[in-house]
Structure 1
Amino acid sequence: MDTSGSQLVRELLESSYLIPSYSNHLIKKVNLQIKKEKKDLDEIITNEDYDSPSLSATILYHHFSIRRSKRCLCVYHNERLKTIKRLRWTHGSTLPSEISENCLQEERNFFQEYSLLLMKYMSQIRLDLYQNMNPPCSKNIYIHVLVVNDIGEILTNFETQTIRLLKGSKHYVRYNDVKKFLKNGDVIQITNPKENLQTMTPTKNQINK
């Protein structure tokens, strides 16, 4: 079985470059192999006796060889396009020259069209998707809580803001602001902030350890 397809994928995945130069020579070899397999398969189907067990095995061999080569071509091109799309998020609307020179013109066109689609979408929803790309640290994560016991007024991590934690009240606060109250059970985290307070009876299992 020809190994050009697997060599093509391996060359891409093992490259030290983010996007290596387009492997025209291997692409050509894989396409030629597909044409050869297809020709051999057509000749077998046209000239041979279908009742022969060995013929069935030969037909399957050529058929799966063609499918394997096509999958390798799809994987190669799909991985390159996935990398190009990731570059739009990490490098902005301009491809670095050292990457651009390894891309086909069609790939550079794809990058520009993908970039335009993103800009159009962000304009429609009026949201810059490039802001806050990194997940927030734990101290900035907000949660809904129910106050089980009166705590009173506390100072938040902003140091200029306070919260009054009164029994039965619900709040949308930063996790770190109420972390110690969650641990001792004076406050419990709730998953549905619209839930009726009268139906909420705190239990030990609800207390966030």
Structure 2
Amino acid sequence: MHGDQALQLVTIAHRSTLATAPQLPIPKYSQKLVLDICLETRQLGDAIAHATASVENLTQDPALICALTIKHLAVRRNKRCLLAYLHTRIGGIKERWWDAGGALAHLLAPFDASSTLGVGNSTGDPDAPDLRSALSQQELDLMRDYSSLVLDYKSDFLDVLDIAAPIGRPPGELFVDVRVVRDAGEIVLENGARFEFTKGSRFYLERALIERLIVQGYLEEM
């Protein structure tokens, strides 16, 4: 029946928004379902065009008017469902970019089941797809372009404010005691200091210098 596939698509999008803490993983892009809906929409459009081209006066055939109205409404509904699906996924992509503090490489890294936190997987669930495999190529391009756009915007005042820094909890002190929860290797901080962040080690450092590593899940506050 017309619209059944579009309803499936909206249901998938709705399920991905049912929880925010912890986030549900973004479902894998439903390419086949999207293409099937596009095909159905084109077929409905062709049927409408063919019917109207073969009739000189539609007002003389109420049954045809009714049939064309149903097809037209089905086309509009399919388009709205497709746009709702894409809009929901774009919102989820942007939300995860901000949650990761703009760390695109970290966000698109493959899932590491041995890590305390799943890299590229917001839930740490090994059965859930990592973000890169869940997105279509167009969505990956969108995420990269969005990241470049925000980074270009914030570069003009990065020495004053980092708009990608988390704001859920204001910092209580300039220095913070942290523990390494995932190996990060040797890191050179903005002040030039070098640290070897190996899992289990602890440091007392300036929060502003390691805020990004905390957001990315390499460090956790004690």
TM-score, normalising length: structure 1:
0.59
**Structure 1 residues 43 and 132, CA, compared in 2 at 3 Å: closer, same or farther?**
closer
Structure 1 segments, 4+ long, off by >3 Å, are none
**Structure 1 residues 132 and 76, CA, compared in 2 at 3 Å: closer, same or farther?**
closer
In structure 2, the residue matched to 1:160 is none
Query: Residue 163 of structure 2: SS of its match in structure 1?
Result: coil
In structure 2, the residue matched to 1:10 is 11
Shift of residue 130 of structure 1?
A: 2.5
Shift of residue 14 of structure 1?
A: 2.0
Q: Quick one: which amino acid aligns to residue 92 of structure 2? A: T
In structure 2, the residue matched to 1:129 is 163
CA distance in 1, matches of 2:69, 2:157: 51
Shift of residue 61 of structure 1?
A: 1.1
Shift of residue 113 of structure 1?
A: 1.2
**Structure 1 residues 30 and 116, CA, compared in 2 at 3 Å: closer, same or farther?**
same
Superposed, which structure 2 residues align to 1:57-96 within 5 Å?
57-91=66-100, 92-94=102-104, 95-96=107-108
- Would you say 1:27 and 2:34 are equivalent positions? yes
Shift of residue 85 of structure 1?
A: 0.7
In structure 2, the residue matched to 1:109 is 141
Superposed, which structure 2 residues align to 1:17-56 within 5 Å?
17-48=24-55, 49-51=57-59, 52-56=61-65
Stretch moving more, 44-53 or 32-41: 44-53
Q: Structure 1 unaligned runs (5+)?
A: 138-209
The percentage of aligned residue pairs carrying the same residue is 27
- Deviations 1:148-180, CA, capped at 9 Å, x for gaps: xxxxxxxxxxxxxxxxxxxxxxxxxxxxxxxxx
The alignment of Structure 1 onto Structure 2 pairs a total of residues equal to: 138
Shift of residue 125 of structure 1?
A: 3.6
Shift of residue 100 of structure 1?
A: 1.2
Superposed, which structure 2 residues align to 1:197-208 within 5 Å?
none
CA distance in 2, matches of 1:47, 1:62: 16
TM-score, normalising length: structure 2:
0.56
Pair member with larger Rg? 1
- Deviations 1:34-76, CA, capped at 9 Å, x for gaps: 0111111012101134122222222211111111101111111
- The 8 Å contact of residues 93 and 112 in structure 1, kept in 2 or not, is answered as no
Q: Quick one: which amino acid aligns to residue 40 of structure 1? A: A
- The 8 Å contact of residues 19 and 80 in structure 1, kept in 2 or not, is answered as yes
Shift of residue 136 of structure 1?
A: 5.5
Superposed, which structure 2 residues align to 1:132-147 within 5 Å?
133-134=167-168
CA distance in 1, matches of 2:170, 2:103: 25
Stretch moving more, 73-82 or 47-56: 47-56
Higher relative contact order (CA 8 A, sep 6+): 2
